[in-house]
Structure 1
Amino acid sequence: MTNKSEYALNFCNAILMAIGIGFIGVASFTLLKYKPLGAVISPVINEAYCVLGFGCILVVLGIVGVTVLGCNISSGDKHYRRGCCWNFTLIATVVLMVTLAVTELTVGLLLFTPEAVNSQVCDVMNKTFNEYNTENSNSTQYFDTVEQELKCCGVNGYMDWQALRNSSDVTQGCCTNTTAPGCYKDITSLDITQIKNKIYTRGCYEAYKESLHGVSMVTTVFFYAAAAMLVLTSITCVTNLVVNCCIEVEDEPDFGFYKREETTPMTGVNSASSTNSRYRS
């Protein structure tokens, strides 16, 4: 039973390390693809950094668990594995895993839900849109980049620009071919087919949600998997503690104190000769 529970603990640590690597991969992909969009989707960037940090923590925990805790399985030293040092290690692991699970559920699944992040992105996107061509030149650059990268126009559609500017023009970032002269001018005079040939018509908020839908789903799955594995690892550690307390230690070390010799009963002549030999000596 002890070996089985220890192998289960080693397996849980390996799975945690794999999930951590998955977190790092998703966060790195998000940062590489969406960081150039700047402040427009800053909530997504902040979430990616948190996911990256959490993934690194899981990888470190997994490595420590596999190398330190796992090596004790093959050490053959049962007295150490059932001693106070090993039990203290298991207790510390349980406390750490439970703390991480609670933190993850609080931060990851409550603060960084897709709905919460999307709401923050919508607010930031509207703010950046309203600052277009004002003193904040970064907003102009960021929104042009968003429109080109996500192939969109305005926040909710190309009509946003007409409402903001009171004009029939949009921005050059909306053009399907930015090198075409005047591609963004006098859009309202065209029919819908001509408009779709010249500019992107869908809004950037919708394009953002479609673009990040897959990443959000994968991140959510990893969060639930990590929480489940943290709880399972804690249960496995508790199982090891219970087993260590219930199973009697075998092969106790012989310190040489008061070693008792086993004697076999002797009868008849053999017993008498044995007694005489002791007297003569």
Structure 2
Amino acid sequence: MGQCGITSSKTVLVFLNLIFWGAAGILCYVGAYVFITHDDYDHFFEDVYTLIPAVVIIAVGALLFIIGLIGCCAPIRESHCGLATFVILLLLVFVTEVVVVVLGYVYRAKVENEVDRSIQKVYKTYNGTNPDAASRAIDYVQRQLHCCGIHNYSDWENTDWFKETKNQSIHVSCCRETASSCNGSLANPSDLYAEGCKALVVKKLQEIKMHVIWAALAFAAIQLLGMLCACIVLCRRNRGPAYELLVTGGAYA
């Protein structure tokens, strides 16, 4: 019965470590996705510390790959030191992922205030030229999220760029994809996206944070199972002579 339990634990542990390798790749992908997406919206979010969860989750992904290697070898060799190292590293990663979840929720709550403060500045400095990073960011967001202005297209009337152009038109990035003849004229509001960008940017950034949170929670649960299996193997290994007799098929004198 004991041998069956330890064999099952080893099998599950090796299988879990294969999952850890897959998880390492997924976590690194999620972290990279957050970085890439944040780069598209960084003009609407000034607090660089919001990238901390992404940095941590990439580091966790790299560490999980090493843990997976240790976790595959240690149970097969029944290495006490290897299994102990495996459990300690898993515990460290588990605590780190809990921190990621907490930070994710903290920064997710700050998103709306950050965007509200930043988006006003970005629209105010818009100059309509492609080399200008802030202008490119606005055009990109309006096209990608199908939005226009901060709350709606009328917000453009308060921008310096609109007042300087004096042609009663806003940028064509506000034009609906279905309006092929749209030139940004306010005389044809039906050709323009009706929804403002602020709410959609907030929603997008909060979704990104939730990707990080759910990824961390999912793999934290798997790691708990990994620690449990490793502890079972360690406990059996530490039973001393009785354990050795059970494994080798020996008998008491």
Task: Confirm or deny a common fold (TM above 0.5).
Answer: yes
Structure 1 partner of 2:175: 175
1:76-119: CA deviations, max 9, x gaps?
Answer: xxxxx2xxxx222222222211111111111x212123434455
Distance 1:220 1:159, change over 3 A: same
What is the letter of the counterpart of residue 9 of structure 1?
A: L
After superposing the two structures, state which structure 1 stretch, 29-38 or 168-177, moved more.
29-38
Structure 1 partner of 2:127: 133
Determine if contact 1:40/1:143 at 8 Å carries over to the other structure: no
Q: What CA distance in whole angstroms lies between the structure 2 residues aligned with 1:55 and 1:229?
A: 14
Determine if contact 2:28/2:58 at 8 Å carries over to the other structure: yes
Structure 2 partner of 1:153: 148
Query: Looking at CA atoms only, which structure, 1 or 2, has the larger radius of gyration?
Result: 1
| Match of residue 195, structure 1, among 152, 174, 189 | 189
Distance 1:209 1:40, change over 3 A: closer
Deviation at 1:6, TM superposition (A): 1.7
1:16-48: CA deviations, max 9, x gaps?
Answer: 222222223444455556644553357676655
| Match of residue 243, structure 1, among 233, 236, 249 | 236
State, as a whole percentage, how many aligned pairs show the same letter. 19
| Match of residue 102, structure 2, among 97, 103, 110 | 110
Q: What CA distance in whole angstroms lies between the structure 2 residues aligned with 1:131 and 1:35?
A: 19
Q: TM-score, normalised by structure 1?
A: 0.65
Q: How does 1:77-88 map to 2 (within 5 A)?
A: 81=78, 86-88=79-81
Q: What CA distance in whole angstroms lies between the structure 2 residues aligned with 1:158 and 1:152?
A: 8
Distance 1:57 1:176, change over 3 A: same
Q: What CA distance in whole angstroms lies between the structure 1 residues aligned with 2:246 and 2:217?
A: 43
Q: Counterpart of 1:250 in 2: which secondary structure?
A: helix
Q: What CA distance in whole angstroms lies between the structure 2 residues aligned with 1:237 and 1:70?
A: 8
Q: What CA distance in whole angstroms lies between the structure 2 residues aligned with 1:96 and 1:155?
A: 46
Q: How does 1:38-53 map to 2 (within 5 A)?
A: 38-40=42-44, 48-53=54-59
Q: TM-score, normalised by structure 2?
A: 0.71
Could you list the runs of 5+ residues in structure 2 that have no partner in the other structure?
A: 249-253
User: How large is the RMSD of aligned CA atoms in angstroms?
Assistant: 3.7
Structure 2 partner of 1:14: 18
Deviation at 1:7, TM superposition (A): 1.7
| Match of residue 206, structure 1, among 185, 199, 202 | 199
| Match of residue 65, structure 1, among 67, 71, 85 | 71
Determine if contact 1:155/1:204 at 8 Å carries over to the other structure: yes
Could you list the runs of 5+ residues in structure 1 that have no partner in the other structure?
A: 73-80, 254-281
Distance 1:176 1:23, change over 3 A: same
Count of residue pairs brought into register by the alignment? 231
Q: What CA distance in whole angstroms lies between the structure 2 residues aligned with 1:46 and 1:200?
A: 34
Structure 2 partner of 1:55: 61
Determine if contact 1:37/1:145 at 8 Å carries over to the other structure: no
Determine if contact 2:23/2:64 at 8 Å carries over to the other structure: yes
Deviation at 1:224, TM superposition (A): 0.9
| Match of residue 221, structure 1, among 193, 214, 225 | 214
1:174-212: CA deviations, max 9, x gaps?
Answer: 23369857x334x2xx4xxx4132x21212233335556
